[in-house]
Structure 1
């Protein structure tokens, strides 16, 4: 279950305490939470609890409902677009494993702080034979250096915190007990940024990616 806490002008979205896969119910909860964040206009920290940040797509449901997968994938892409263009400062506090779409969720934030001693960032699509959609590929390539994008997308490599920081996948690492505080400290000085201006800036910065993720490109 997801929770949203807004304290001292900072919103902390906890996306669950299990594998935090993108179930239909999870998508509903996260979308509702983002509505509240935008209304409040507060910086956002997104994190999980336990050993997972997010394992991404609900593959069991997808395999059981192949006729609905197209619509489901589009909804996931629209959520990634929403995080990417969210009109408030955002940081992912990556508390554990971030795989597949869960890793892309972290990349859709402005910044990433990852636990130093446990958990992997991984894009396993090459090994599970699920090609990236154009929108997902564009998101990854917009957020990573060309070298890191090739290494992550074509090898399925697992990056621990220090390796992810060295590759520029995350901006910093932290001990488990300091992860959330470090993430909050990264965006706390950015309180009060004008929502309309920030929305315009992000929409311009990421226009080609957003068009692909939203399915609005020509």
Structure 2
């Protein structure tokens, strides 16, 4: 992933991921996928400038369009029928961690970094579709803790909570991720795809049948007066750091 320096997630990031997966399906449909970032950041999550302007626009249609693009991108990774591995090379925060949780396996580099779902403390309601993915990847208890508390964890605590399947030295990150990706040979692709679909069946039914109605309330929640104040504080913190 190389849309921008820290892979903040905006319309261009979503478009780039879809272009990449279009090419994977067209030219490398039998092969597994490894997602990674650059330097010390896997993905820093949503682009605050891009997203907060949408949330504060007062337009429910704009918020719905923003969420639709975000949701479609994550579900495309989550449902990809081949093995998917997140080679987490550094910080994975909020939407960045969700992108990692979309993958079947998550390998992290042993280096100082932060990981967590801090949407709620900065005034962003967690979309119900993502909650289902989070619970699938982390379990109900850890999923609720990570979502509602919104804490950013260091590597050791994130590993203890089960964010990663394995933590390795940075120079072994891609090697290990590729090893996980090669857990099957191409002649077993159908067995993998069918098994993955069966494992995700309950999650996808929940997303299709229940989260659609829950997420209808997202535009109002994103633009709530209190949430907007929290979002503005976060934006000011970022601008001050720069």
TM-score by length of 1: 0.84
For these two proteins, the number of residue pairs brought into alignment is 205
1:44 to partner: Cα distance: 0.7
Given candidates 111, 116, 119, the residue that maps to 1:122 is 116
Tell me, in whole angstroms, the C-alpha distance in 1 between the residues paired with 2:17 and 2:44. 15
1:61 to partner: Cα distance: 1.0
* Cross-structure match for 2:138: 144
> Comparing 161-170 with 97-106, which one deviates more in the overlay?
161-170
Given candidates 28, 46, 71, the residue that maps to 2:35 is 46
Contact 2:3 2:16 in 1 (8 A): no
Structure of higher CA gyration radius? 2
Query: How is 1:1-218 mapped onto 2 (pairs within 5 angstroms)?
Result: 14-16=1-3, 18-39=5-26, 40=28, 41-65=30-54, 66=57, 67=59, 68-211=62-205
Tell me, in whole angstroms, the C-alpha distance in 1 between the residues paired with 2:183 and 2:191. 17
Unaligned stretches of 5+ residues in structure 1:
1-13
Tell me, in whole angstroms, the C-alpha distance in 2 between the residues paired with 1:138 and 1:46. 21
> Comparing 29-38 with 197-206, which one deviates more in the overlay?
197-206
Greater helix share, structure number: 2
Contact 1:16 1:49 in 2 (8 A): no
Deviations 1:98-141 (A, max 9, x none): 11111111001000001222211110012102111110111101
Contact 1:118 1:161 in 2 (8 A): yes
SS, match of residue 197 in structure 2: helix
Q: 1:211 to 1:87 in 2, by over 3 A?
A: same
Unaligned stretches of 5+ residues in structure 2:
214-242
Contact 1:74 1:214 in 2 (8 A): no
Contact 2:131 2:143 in 1 (8 A): no
Greater strand share, structure number: 1
Tell me, in whole angstroms, the C-alpha distance in 1 between the residues paired with 2:19 and 2:115. 26
TM-score by length of 2: 0.76
1:26 to partner: Cα distance: 1.6
